[in-house]
Every structure is written in C-alpha cells, then in structure tokens.
C-alpha cells in the first residue's frame, strides 16, 4: 500500500517536473537572467508599499450588507489525506495547532483553546490573484497573540504556515501547501488565524479548521488547513525555498500586495 503510494507519487511528481521544464523551455520569462530583470518590478513594488504601509494601515472593513452571497473557494476544496479525513470526521476535536521554530515557548493549541482566546472579527475583501473579489466575515485569533505567547527569538525573520493539503503529489513532500510572511504582516492587527467564516465554523472548502487572513495581500498568501506555525530565519528549507507553494510551483511573487 505505502510502496504503491510512493510509486504513484514519484511518477506524478516526475510528470509535473518534466511538464514544467517543457513549458519553461519555450518562454523567455523562464530564462534566469530575464527572470532576474523582471523581478526588479516585484522588488520595487514591495519596497514602495512597505515604505508607505504603516503597521497600523488597515485594509478596508465592510458591513454585513456587503458580504458575498456566494464566496468562491479556490485551491484545495477538500484535502485528500486519510489523516485529514479522520480529523474532519471528528469535527477537528483531535486537531492541534503546533507553534514552534525559533521561539522560546513552543506550544500546541486545540480548536477549543483558540476559541477561548480573545478574538477579532473583520468583514474584509478577499482578492484573488486571478482578479476576482469576494467579501466575507472572519473571526479568529490575532496571530500576534500566538506569536507573543511563543516569544520569538531575535533571529526570527519569517513566519511559515504548513498546511494539511497537498496540491501536487511528490516524493519529498514539496507539493504540500505552505506559505510565509514577514514579521510586519505576521504582527499586523488584521492578520488572524480564522476559525469562523460568516458566523459559522470555517467550512472545509475554505480551510477548516483554521486558515490565515492577511488582508493587505492576495488570496494565495492566506493558507488554509493550517497545521503548524513556525518562526524561522530563512525560507530556504521549506518546499523549494521560495516561501510558498505557488511561489515554488508557478513562480508567483512572494510579495503579493499587488
């Protein structure tokens, strides 16, 4: 069974890599030098927005009347692992959030623990990189609270979120969804670990039991099905090293403020 699975993973991973190389070979944007030049645009955008964004600059919040009647789900709609299925079957009572990495106080939280903590509720815009927008109401624990309780070590520069969903089956597990943020966005008041959407427990298609909201960024920077939060000083050890699943696999920008 497990041998069969790993063989399947290997084959589909090999197919994905081969297909990617084939695609990449035909287009100038895949050339490393061209890529380096084009990346100047992303760097300029990040530097400019970070210069003007204050820690207190908030994304617009809306009213109940603005909430989208149908909030489109994107990416994984149902993680297809037996482990996740078991957690979901039990209403995530056995799910634990692991907080670790470069922190003084590693911790684990159950969903009940998170629900017992002070929360923040916000009605915000969800801007997908594809161009569409939905408005939803989110309730959750400010990430800053979790990080403050964990006490980041001074060398921590990023916060990495590891998820339960695997978008691409690979031998080494680099097809698993993950994302990362710099500390400015991790500690932003609207950055929350949300367990409720539109006054109901977070639905599976939107990332149950816990997803990130980082409201000054595009949707792919808000991972769903979060299992682990880690403070790190480098993104290199994660996935293929670019700081997120879509960054690794499709070359999306790490800074997604535009």
Partner 1 sequence: MSAAAIEGKPARVLVYRHSVLVRITHWVNVVCIAFLLMSGMAIFNAHPALYVGQKSTFDAPVLNLGVSYPDAHVIGQPFPSWLTGPARDLPSGRRIHFFFAWLFVINGAVYLIATLLTRHLWRDLLPTRDQLRHIGTTVRHHLRLYFPHEREYNVLQKFVYLAVAFVLLPGIVLAGLGMSPGFDAIFPGLVDFFGGRQTARTVHFICASLVVLFILVHVGLVLLSGVWNNLRSMVTGRYRIDPEENSHVS
The single residue among 6, 81, 90, 133 that binds partner 1, judged by CB under 8 A, is: 133
Work out whether 215 is an interface residue with partner 1 (CB under 8 A). yes
- Shortest reach from residue 144's CB to partner 1, in Å: 17
Closest CA to 118 of 96, 150, 93, 146: 146
CB 165 within 8 A of CB 224: yes
The single residue among 127, 166, 230, 248 that binds partner 1, judged by CB under 8 A, is: 127
Q: Residues in contact with partner 1, total (CB under 8 A)?
A: 48
The single residue among 120, 169, 216, 224 that binds partner 1, judged by CB under 8 A, is: 216
CB 13 within 8 A of CB 169: yes
- Shortest reach from residue 35's CB to partner 1, in Å: 8
For the record, the structure tokens of 174 come out as: 């680099």
Residue (167 or 258) nearer to partner 1, CB:
258
- Shortest reach from residue 67's CB to partner 1, in Å: 9
Q: CB under 8 A: which stretch of 111-119, 149-157, 172-180, 244-252 binds partner 1?
A: 244-252
Residues 238, 5: Cα–Cα separation, whole Å: 23
Helix, strand or coil, per DSSP, at residue 34: helix
The single residue among 111, 143, 163, 218 that binds partner 1, judged by CB under 8 A, is: 218
DSSP state of 221: G
DSSP state of 113: H
Please write down the long-range contacts of 104-112, taking CB distance under 8 Å and 24 or more positions apart.
104/150, 104/151, 104/152, 104/153, 105/149, 105/150, 105/151, 106/150, 107/149, 107/150, 109/146, 111/195, 111/209, 111/210
* Positions in 12-71 near partner 1 (CB under 8 A): 23, 26-30, 35, 37-42, 44-45, 49, 52-53, 57-60, 62, 66, 68, 70
What does R_g of the chain's alpha carbons equal in angstroms? 18
Residues lying near partner 1 in the complex (CB under 8 A): 23, 26-30, 35, 37-42, 44-45, 49, 52-53, 57-60, 62, 66, 68, 70, 72, 125, 127-135, 215-218, 246, 250-253, 257-258
């Amino acid at each position: 069974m497990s041998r069969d699975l790993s063989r399947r993973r290997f084959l589909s991973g090999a197919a994905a890599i081969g297909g990617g190389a084939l695609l990449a070979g035909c287009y100038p944007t895949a050339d490393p030098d061209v890529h380096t030049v084009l990346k100047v645009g992303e760097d300029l955008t990040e530097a400019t927005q970070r210069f003007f964004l204050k820690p207190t600059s908030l994304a617009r919040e809306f009213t109940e009347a603005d909430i989208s009647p149908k909030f489109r789900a994107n990416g994984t709609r149902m993680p297809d692992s037996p482990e996740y299925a078991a957690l979901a079957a039990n209403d995530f009572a056995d799910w634990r959030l692991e907080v670790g990495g470069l922190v003084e106080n590693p911790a684990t939280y159950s969903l009940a623990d998170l629900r017992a903590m002070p929360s923040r509720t916000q009605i915000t815009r969800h801007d997908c990189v594809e161009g569409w927008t939905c408005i939803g109401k989110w309730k959750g624990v400010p990430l800053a609270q979790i990080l403050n309780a964990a006490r980041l070590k001074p060398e921590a520069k990023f916060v990495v979120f590891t998820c339960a969903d695997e978008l691409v089956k690979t031998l080494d597990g680099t097809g698993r969804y993950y994302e990362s943020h710099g500390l400015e966005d991790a500690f932003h008041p609207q950055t929350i670990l949300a367990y409720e959407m539109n006054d109901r427990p977070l639905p599976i298609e939107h990332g149950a039991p816990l997803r990130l909201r980082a409201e000054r960024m595009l949707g792919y920077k808000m991972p769903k099905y979060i299992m682990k939060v880690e403070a790190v000083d480098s993104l290199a050890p994660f996935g293929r090293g670019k700081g997120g699943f879509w960054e690794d696999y499709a070359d999306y920008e790490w800074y997604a403020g535009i």
